C-alpha cells in the first residue's frame, strides 16, 4: 500500500516525503562537510569520497531540473548507459571540495522541492516526466530522489565508519519509486524462467506482489492471492539488497529474511530478477 497522499511541507507529495528529502540531504551534507580529505576510498566502489559526493550534488541538480519540467537526457535507463553518463558528468564537473559539495547537495534538494511546489500551483497537465529510469510523475520522482540519496549516503557513511541515514520510515517513502521501476530493471534472462508469484512483505510496513509469466514482470501494490512464495524482510535490508548494497545470504543468516509458501525455494531467486538501478 502506498503512503497516504496529502499535502506535505512542500507540494503534492506523499506525507513526510518532503521532510525526508530535506532531512536526508542535511544528513549527507553533515557527513560531507566535515571530511578533511575527499580522496579517501568508498568501499565497494571505484569512486573516491569526493567523486561520490560530486555525483550526488549533480544528481540532485538533475532531479531539480526534471521536477521543473526541463529535459535532461541522461542515458537510456540501462545500467551501462547510466554508468557512462555518470562518468561523463564527473569528468566535466571538477568540484571535489567538501564544503561546496555539501552546500550543493542541500541547495539542489531545496530546488527540487521548490520546483514541485511551483508545479503544484501551475497549469501542469500531469504528463509524466522523462527521467533516467523512464516516465515518472513528480511524487514518484521525489521518491526516486530520496532513494538515490539514501543509496549513496549509505556509501559515504560506510566510507567514514559512521551510522547511515536509512530507516524504516524513509524506506517506506522509497516504495512508490521502487514499485514503479522494478519492471524496468528486471533482468530478461533471470525472468525468462518458470511462472512464479511472489508476495514481499516489509516487516512492520507495506506489502507488494511480483508475478512472472512468459518473461513479463508485473508488480502490484498489496499481497498477491495464491502466492507461490512469501518473503518477509526487514525494511532497511530490503532497500540495501535492492540497491546492491547488501548480500541476501548474509541477511538470511542474520534472520532478517523469512520465507514460506507452496514454493519457498523460489526466494533465493528473487533478488537476481532485478538489476540495481
CA distance 45 to 88: 17
CA distance 36 to 235: 33
CA distance 153 to 147: 10
| Within-domain flag for 137 | yes
CA distance 6 to 166: 23
Q: What percent of the chain has pLDDT above 90?
A: 79
Residue after which a domain boundary falls, among 180, 209, 231: 180
Report the predicted TM-score, pTM, of the whole model to 2 decimal places. Answer: 0.92
- 7 has a pLDDT exceeding 50: no
- C-beta separation of 194 from 229 below 8 A: no
Residues 191 and 174 in one domain: no
In the numeric block, the cell 511472489 is attached to: 198
Residues 168 and 213 in one domain: no
Residues 94 and 134 in one domain: yes
32-86 per-position pLDDT tens digit = 999 999 999 999 999 999 999 999 999 999 999 999 999 898 988 888 899 999 9
| Within-domain flag for 12 | no
Amino acid at each position: 500500500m502506498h503512503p497516504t497522499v496529502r499535502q506535505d511541507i512542500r507540494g503534492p507529495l506523499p506525507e513526510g516525503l518532503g521532510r525526508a528529502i530535506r532531512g536526508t540531504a542535511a544528513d549527507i551534507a553533515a557527513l560531507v562537510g566535515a571530511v578533511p580529505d575527499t580522496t579517501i576510498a568508498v568501499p565497494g566502489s571505484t569512486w573516491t569520497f569526493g567523486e561520490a559526493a560530486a555525483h550526488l550534488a549533480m544528481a540532485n541538480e538533475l532531479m531539480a531540473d526534471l521536477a521543473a519540467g526541463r529535459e535532461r537526457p541522461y542515458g537510456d535507463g540501462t545500467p551501462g548507459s547510466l554508468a557512462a553518463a555518470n562518468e561523463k558528468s564527473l569528468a566535466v564537473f571538477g568540484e571535489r571540495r567538501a564544503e561546496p559539495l555539501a552546500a550543493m547537495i542541500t541547495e539542489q534538494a531545496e530546488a527540487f522541492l521548490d520546483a514541485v511546489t511551483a508545479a503544484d500551483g501551475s497549469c501542469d497537465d500531469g504528463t509524466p516526466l522523462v527521467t533516467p529510469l523512464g516516465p515518472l510523475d513528480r511524487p514518484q520522482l521525489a521518491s526516486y530522489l530520496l532513494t538515490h540519496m539514501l543509496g549513496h549516503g549509505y556509501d559515504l557513511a560506510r566510507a567514514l565508519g559512521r551510522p547511515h541515514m536509512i530507516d524504516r520510515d524513509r524506506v517506506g517513502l522509497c516504495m512508490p519509486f521502487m514499485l514503479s521501476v522494478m519492471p524496468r530493471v528486471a533482468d530478461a534472462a533471470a525472468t525468462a524462467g518458470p511462472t512464479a508469484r511472489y508476495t514481499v512483505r516489509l516487516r512492520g510496513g507495506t506489502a507488494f506482489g511480483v508475478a512472472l509469466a512468459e518473461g513479463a514482470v508485473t508488480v502490484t501494490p498489496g499481497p498477491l492471492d495464491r502466492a507461490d512464495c512469501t518473503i518477509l524482510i526487514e525494511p532497511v535490508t530490503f532497500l540495501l539488497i535492492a540497491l546492491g548494497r547488501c548480500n541476501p545470504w548474509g541477511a538470511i543468516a542474520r534472520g532478517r529474511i523469512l520465507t514460506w509458501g507452496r514454493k519457498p525455494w523460489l526466494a533465493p531467486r528473487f533478488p537476481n530478477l532485478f538489476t540495481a538501478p
